[in-house]
């Protein structure tokens, strides 16, 4: 690992090429290999959605960089009339979500700690990087990892094509896989024998917002997920290094934009 990561270069193309992250891993395994490689090579970039901007705004509040975020994302703010300088109507609920967290002493207690902590470790044959939303070292070598999540609803179930059923938002968006990666990288980075406590502080986009502090403590499942990650790594390393050709999913935005037809399909194949 020759590149030393900083807040300034953490999300750069150079850092993403040298280090694997949980988002890269999920894109390779549950998304599209071709799109993942196009992003790494700077050939494809998707504009952030409204939901992504709201999530980033909440994270900037937690990090204490709200003013910098506002300067970097003027598209979220009104530029004329009585509302000049205020969040546009599509984003107003973000401030309500922040107020919901700020008004809850337990939420603020759990979110207390070091912000956006970068850690790296060699894991399953390749270097990984993580950035922890809130990190706190406790007594007797105990540590706490806290991830701040925004979601449409905390309790409503979400349809998952992977599980082919409705599941919690934790399962639907593979947050347990993310936490497993974070815990193992942190454990190796700190040279500890045990995993850190892992919590999610969730706030919903409902009116009024809901909130919850969710424990993901489940060592047996953590071991299973890390074993699955290890088994997937030879393919990911081969594709990322250019030794294997990435597979196209033919369904994502990248594949739709770059598709070249070479055959006729039967109507019965639609939806497959």
pLDDT tens per residue across span 198-232: 999 999 999 999 999 999 999 999 999 999 999 99
Within-domain flag for 88: no
Q: What percent of the chain has pLDDT over 90?
A: 76
78 domain-assigned: no
**Is the pLDDT at 2 greater than 90, yes or no?**
no
Query: Can you tell me whether residue 209 is helix, strand or coil?
Result: coil
Contact between residue 127 and residue 14 where contact means Cβ atoms under 8 Å apart? no
Query: What is the DSSP secondary structure assignment for residue 143, as one 8-state letter?
Result: E
Structural domain including 202 reads: 13-46+104-269
How many domains does the chain contain in total?
1
Q: What is the pTM of this model?
A: 0.91
For the purposes of burial, counting CB atoms within 10 Å of the CB of 260, is it exposed (0-12), middle (13-18) or buried (19 or more)?
Answer: exposed
> Is 97 inside a domain boundary?
no
The pLDDT of residue 203 is 96
The CATH number given to whatever domain includes residue 134 is 3.90.320.10
Tens-digit pLDDT profile for residues 140-163 = 889 999 999 999 999 999 998 888
């Amino acid at each position: 690992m020759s590149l030393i990561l900083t807040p300034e270069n953490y999300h750069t193309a150079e850092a993403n090429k040298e280090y694997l992250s949980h988002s890269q891993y999920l894109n390779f395994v549950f998304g599209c290999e071709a799109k993942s490689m196009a992003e790494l090579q700077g050939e494809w970039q998707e504009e952030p959605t409204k939901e992504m901007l709201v999530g980033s705004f909440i994270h900037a509040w937690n990090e204490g960089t709200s003013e910098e975020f506002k300067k970097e994302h003027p598209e979220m703010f009104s530029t004329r009339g009585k509302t000049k300088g205020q969040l546009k109507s599509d984003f107003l609920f973000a401030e309500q979500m922040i107020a919901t967290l700020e008004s809850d002493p337990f939420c603020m207690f759990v979110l207390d700690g070091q912000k956006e902590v970068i850690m790296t470790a060699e894991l399953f044959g390749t270097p990984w990087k993580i950035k922890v939303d809130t990190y706190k070292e406790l007594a007797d070598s105990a540590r706490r990892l806290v991830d701040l999540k925004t979601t449409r609803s905390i309790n409503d179930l979400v349809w998952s094509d992977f599980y082919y059923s409705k599941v919690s938002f934790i399962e639907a968006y593979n947050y347990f896989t993310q936490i497993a990666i974070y815990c193992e990288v942190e454990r190796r980075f700190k040279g500890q024998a045990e995993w850190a406590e892992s919590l999610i502080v969730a706030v919903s986009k409902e009116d009024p917002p809901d909130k919850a502090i969710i424990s993901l403590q489940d060592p047996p499942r953590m071991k299973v997920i890390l074993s699955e990650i290890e088994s997937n790594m030879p393919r990911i390393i081969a594709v990322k290094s250019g030794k294997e050709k990435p597979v196209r999913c033919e369904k994502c935005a990248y594949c739709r934009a770059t598709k070249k037809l070479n055959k006729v399909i039967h109507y019965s194949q639609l939806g497959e």
